[in-house]
Structure 1
Amino acid sequence: MAEEVHLGLPGPWAADYREKADHYTTKIGGVPDWPTVDMGIKPETLQCSLCGTKLCLVAQVHAPVAKLNIEERIIYVLVCSTPQCGPKPQSWKVLRVQKCHNVMQTEGGGDELGQSNGPPSTSVPEEQNDKNKIPEIDDDDFDLDALAEALEQAATLASNSKKKNKSKHANAPVKCPVLKEQACDPSIPFLPCFYIYYDKELFGGKGTVGSSSSELVLDKEIMDTANDEEEKWEGEKYEYDKAIGADRTYLKFKKRLDAYPQQCFRYSYGGKPLMATTKLQDPGTCKLCGSPRQYELQLMSPLSYFLHEAGDGSSNYAPSSWTWLTVIIYTCSKSCCPSSCGGNPHSCCWGVAEEEILIQEDEVR
């Protein structure tokens, strides 16, 4: 049975690249949405190891782990905002932020990426939740009018939910229609921001090639060129892994990438990375508990393309100096509690752990 891989595909652009969301939001660029105001993160943790410049957010991924009953967990991928440091591995950092799981909680069901019993990966304002709540009905004072009203509200809520799901894969405007609150710290560097939705990679890459479900608006000229090339080669069959003298690892990588050319990242907790080259160093062990690290996700080169295309002066940094094919992220296999409370169910708190990030470069072939 093939392992399950979730693909992070581009959704709508943020109305403002510095707008606030919440830590349940999965996105590319923008500014980090920390779960609490005071995370206790040391300033040097958010600075470049080479030049000391503040790091900017590349990706924020809400990543609960149902099998470990960890619902509050986020992965933040950061990089130095200067073109001189950006291409160097030492200027990248990945932080695993999670709330120590409570052993008294009921066991979660489903897989990762917001499908546990915890909060959903798409945030909804608290005021809206209050409006959507169905009124409680007292058994001792049964009221038919209240019951009718409750049923009507439930039907409305279900209808709205269906409409959202239906429009999820439709083409969206370049900018979000609603401007959220802007982040308050103007000194934080940022990349252009867009939101992510998920799709499962079908085995053998037999998904919708060049899917039009992406909500980002691509350059028409580039799309026309791609269509012309597709027509030119129509009917020919090319087996990537059987090309004479070719790097089979890279060709397999390219084949999977071409099957879903808009994938910004791949997620498969505990799975296997899609290698671009055979060179990959040992990710080592967790600095906190000593457990071996395991693969969790990897950034893909289309992410760099989308950010570069959006670098129109609205952000203070465009990733024009990036030459990587993929950025692979490994995390603690036990997803250990990174805070000082030691997982005590009566003193749960947020903690931050720095994990391993490995970069595979685009080499001259």
Structure 2
Amino acid sequence: MAAPMSTNTVELGFIEKVDNCRLFSRFFPSKVGGKPAWLELKNLPKHDELICQTCGKPCVFVLQIYAPVPNKDSCFHRSVFVFLCKNTECHKRNNSNSFLVLRSQLSRTNQFYDYEPPNEDEEKPENHPNPEDFETSLCRVCGCLGGKRCSKCHTASYCSREHQTIDWKKGHKMNCGDPGDLGFLFLEFELVTEPENEGDEDQQSDDEKYSKYLESGADEKTQDFKIEELQKMAVKETKEDKTFLAFKKRVDKEPEQVLRHQRGGQPLWVSNDNKPTAEDIPPCSCGSPRQFEFQIMPQLLIHLNVDSVNESIDWGTLLVYTCSNSCDEGPAYHKEFIWKQDVSSHQPDME
């Protein structure tokens, strides 16, 4: 079972290969790719809740994080799911219409899971609860709610005609058998987290370091700075430059991070452009304001393998905002808000 994320410190997420039997819903995983490990197993989001706002085609599961809210009984189990459209033409600069976020939560006592945590070493696949146990059919292509069935075998379920067509072309046409790996989903990994370790000295800005140097009156040779570094600090930078350099400097300490989580904290901006205002972030349907919860880093793109010859899916960072009250009203899967911020057009690449 994934460890609950702290709300006081920044938790960094890293990709790790693992036996996929540890990524079932029963273990409350944080993970990337594959099919969603749904938390609430009975009332899954409907097809029209999982479609791209641009092209209307079904979105694909990207990742989920297990993030309970301490001291709130109804959030003893809590997961946030992120989906995206794989159609590269739908991905526009600083536009998040091709992404969507859902939140689900359960109390410790619920109809799906045992009160005590599972023993990963003793659990058997046949003991894992899944939506089928509650008469819920899953699309065998993407793992979302399947409302359509194959007219030939009457057993294979699909969320949409698009996914039925994918399965048909990949072999279902021949034998209505197991689809195997259709090559449609993203590769599956565990998402492991650990607190960000940031020293006090590293938190100082270049301007602060340079000011301290000037105030000290000490000889250059006694300082920890190289002369070229001091010269660089002295050069007047634009706000855009400083924002991007601060992002890169922070990320370079843990260059393999793919996610940063700090519910109620502040995001690490990749650009000074296209920052959301309070008016840009809509309140939850319950009326509570939304707050920052986590951001997805551009390093995840390497693992998703979404580059193509002419176009590719890309982002500077994806910022996820969730209900500050983590409300229980409404559906089992609450729609939350995501903001896409790209690197400024005049900035160099992250490499």
TM-score of the superposed pair, with normalisation by structure 2: 0.62
Give SS of 2:54's match: coil
Match of residue 76 from structure 2: 71
Q: Is the 8 A contact 2:23 2:31 kept in 1?
A: no
Aligned residue identity for 1:272: Q
Distance in 1 (CA, whole Å) between partners of 2:199 and 2:320 is 23
CA distance in 2, matches of 1:242, 1:99: 53
Partner residue in 2 for 1:22 = 25
Determine the structure 1 residue equivalent to 2:303: 306
Shift in Å, 1:11: 0.7
SS at match of 2:305: helix
User: What is the CA deviation profile of residues 19-68 of structure 1, one whole-angstrom value per residue up to 9, with x for unaligned ones?
Assistant: 96226111111111112443242211111111121111111111111133
**What letter matches 1:356 in structure 2?**
F
| Structure 1: stretches of 5+ with no match in the other structure | 103-116, 131-182, 208-233, 312-316, 341-350
Partner-residue secondary structure (3-state), 1:203: coil
8 Å CA contact retained: 2:76, 2:107:
no
Q: Residue 244 in 1 paired to residue 244 in 2?
A: no
Contact kept, 8 Å, 1:264 with 1:303, in 2: the verdict is yes
Matched to 1:28, the amino acid is V
**Residue identity matched to 1:83:** T
Equivalent-residue separation in structure 2 for 1:91 and 1:363 (angstroms)? 20
Give the counterpart of 1:193 among 185, 188, 192: 188
Task: Label 1:237 to 1:48 Cα distance change in 2 as closer, same or farther (>3 A).
Answer: same
Partner residue of 2:9 out of 4, 8, 19 = 4
Q: CA deviation at 1:187?
A: 5.3
**Hey, what's the Cα distance between the residues in 2 that align with 1:11 and 1:206?**
30
Q: Unaligned 5+ residue runs, structure 2?
A: 1-6, 110-114, 128-137, 144-183, 203-224, 347-351
Q: Provide the C-alpha distance between the structure 2 equivalents of 1:319 and 1:266, rounded to a whole number of angstroms.
A: 30
Q: What's the offset of the Cα at 1:72?
A: 1.4
Measured in 2, the distance between the counterparts of 1:11 and 1:319 equals: 30
Match of 1:253 among 247, 259, 264: 247
- 3-state SS, counterpart of residue 301 of structure 2: helix
In structure 2, how many angstroms separate the alpha carbons of the residues matched to 1:33 and 1:292?
27
Paired residues for 1:175-190 under 5 Å: 185-186=140-141, 189-190=184-185
**TM-score normalised according to structure 1 size:** 0.60
Equivalent in the alignment of 2:333: 352
Alignment-derived partner of residue 331 in structure 1? 322
CA distance in 2, matches of 1:237, 1:258: 20
1:363 to 1:286, Cα distance in 2 relative to 1, 3 A = same
Count the aligned residue pairs: 252
Higher relative contact order by CA 8 Å / sep ≥ 6: 1 or 2?
1
* C-alpha contact (below 8 Å) 2:61/2:142 kept by paired residues: no
How many Å apart are 1:354 and its aligned residue?
A: 0.6
SS at match of 1:324: coil
Q: Bigger shift: 250-259 or 63-72? A: 63-72
1:1-365 correspondence runs (5 A) = 3-12=8-17, 21-22=24-25, 24-69=28-73, 70-87=75-92, 88-99=95-106, 119=117, 126-127=123-124, 185-186=140-141, 189-204=184-199, 238=229, 244-246=236-238, 247-278=241-272, 279-281=274-276, 282=278, 283-308=280-305, 321-339=312-330, 351-365=332-346
